[in-house]
Amino acid sequence: MKKANLIVCVVMVATMLLSACGGGGSSEKVNLVYWSMWNKTETSAIAMTEIIEKFQAANPNITIEAVWNGRENQTKVRTALSANTVIDLVDHGSFELAGGLLQEGLLLPLDDMLNSNALDEAVPFKDVFNPGTLDLNTKDGVHYLMPYDDSPVMFWYNKDIFTAAGIAAPPATWDEFLVDLQKIKDAGYVPLAVESDGGDYNMWYFTYLVERIKGKGFLLSAIEDKTGELWKDPVFTQALTMIQELWDKGFIPPESHGYTWPAGQQTLATGVAAMELCGGWLPNELGDMAGPDFKWGGFNFPAVTGGVGKATDLQQFLLSMGVLKSSAHPEEAKAFMKFLMTTESQTRMNQAMRGLVRKGVDWPASMADGALASTNATTVLDNADGGSALYAEFTKNILYYHVLNVFLGQTTLADFPATMSAAAKTYWDSK
């Protein structure tokens, strides 16, 4: 009965909201065009389709036309916009949208929506989000993106392997982490699953270590340094040396050099490897292979003794939605975004094995440790300390290139400071 009353409440409030903005309360037929990063057959797209159908039932004058583009969504959106294709709503990774459509001035501000009332709770809409998530990707203090999906970046592990290795609780510090990795290796398991083409996955070791040692903002300051001199700071060599130790001690097995995604993570699902540093989507991706009896755990990237950053500083890989500036129906688009964040809609996303940004909604059982980490986060970190959103070209083509070459042993660690410094200066001199 309570659930039925909640649905009625959501429908009534959504209708009132649209009536006030000239949407659902009028007889005008509105067609919203939504271009999505999901593929049509993914569980998240299926859940989103059901949410869309419920929204349309509550607002019979509004139809949402979903276009399931997959992970090339933002690229396809740009191309379509240049051809004057009508698009109202778009979603993608938050930092990717922030570095793309947002930086290009193609999205509408959302602060009016965020300051209005939530649909199913007597609070401002902005207050339903988990702390830090809403403010991660803004521009000049203005919100253009609404997060609706959370994948905390942390170590996801097999609890049975930890038990077999005699590890009672996950490590909190890097020194404890190294001790536990040795225990896992001694017990006959591969400690760390890594892909040779890991890209973001492998970079997270580096970006997390720099943050743990120097705190939030230092890596970004190096990215922004047009002289390139900051790349000679000892923290970068220290971080890479700590990563190199993982290889030298066999915690990352040498055969990882031959793995291409998803070969590495499959060793976790099959009980060969103990853990992987990854976003919260990992239990979902490996669910079928790992099976229902797999005991998932997750723990934050460890703190470094003497470092500024805390173990509870958490990188959040958010998926967000925005309204195109060219939208013919921005208020109706915002109304759907509010509907997507109701407790009922977020619970449906839970069933699709997604992490959530709505307060008070349970996460999938396999991601329970991720929910706890997100709730207790002291600082919310963006990809590459914000570099991926603000300086996407530099971060991907310069920083990633040189760090990943060292990570995989393709270039010498000792050469990194001078090589990276010179590459940064050359890049910025060309701009």
- CA 151-155-159 angle, to 5 degrees, is 115
- Enter the CATH code of domain 2-150+319-381: 3.40.190.10
**Residues 155, 158, 164, 167: is their CA dihedral positive or negative?**
positive
Q: Which CATH architecture has domain 152-315+383-429?
A: 3-Layer(aba) Sandwich (3.40)
Structure tokens, 412:
């010498």
Distance CA 180, CA 184 (A): 6
Structure tokens, 43:
């569980």
Q: Give me the numbers of helices (H) and strands (E) for the chain, helices first please.
A: 20, 11
Per-residue model confidence as pLDDT tens for the chain (431 residues): 333 444 434 444 444 444 334 334 457 899 999 999 999 999 999 999 999 999 999 999 999 999 999 999 999 999 999 999 999 999 999 999 999 999 999 999 999 999 999 999 999 999 999 989 999 999 999 999 999 999 999 999 999 999 999 999 999 999 999 999 999 999 999 999 999 998 999 999 999 999 999 999 999 999 999 999 999 999 999 999 999 999 999 999 999 999 999 999 999 999 999 999 999 999 999 999 999 999 999 999 999 999 999 999 999 999 999 999 999 999 999 999 999 999 999 999 999 999 999 999 999 999 999 999 999 999 999 999 999 999 999 999 999 999 999 999 999 999 999 999 999 999 999 99
**E strands along 80-194, which residues?**
89-93, 138-139, 142-143, 146-158, 190-192
List, as one string, the DSSP characters of 275-332.
EEEE-TTHHHHTHHHH-TT--EEEEPPPB-TT-SS-TTEEEEEEEEEEEBTT-S-HHH
Domain residue ranges in the chain: 2-150+319-381, 152-315+383-429
Intra-chain end-to-end CA distance of the chain, in Å: 62
- Do the two domains 2-150+319-381 and 152-315+383-429 of this chain adopt the same fold? yes
The three-class DSSP label of residue 192 is: strand
In terms of Cα–Cα distance, which of 136, 134, 144, 79 is closest to 108? Answer: 144
Distance CA 88, CA 85 (A): 10
Distance CA 14, CA 58 (A): 7
Distance CA 341, CA 358 (A): 7
Instruction: Name the pTM for this structure.
Output: 0.91
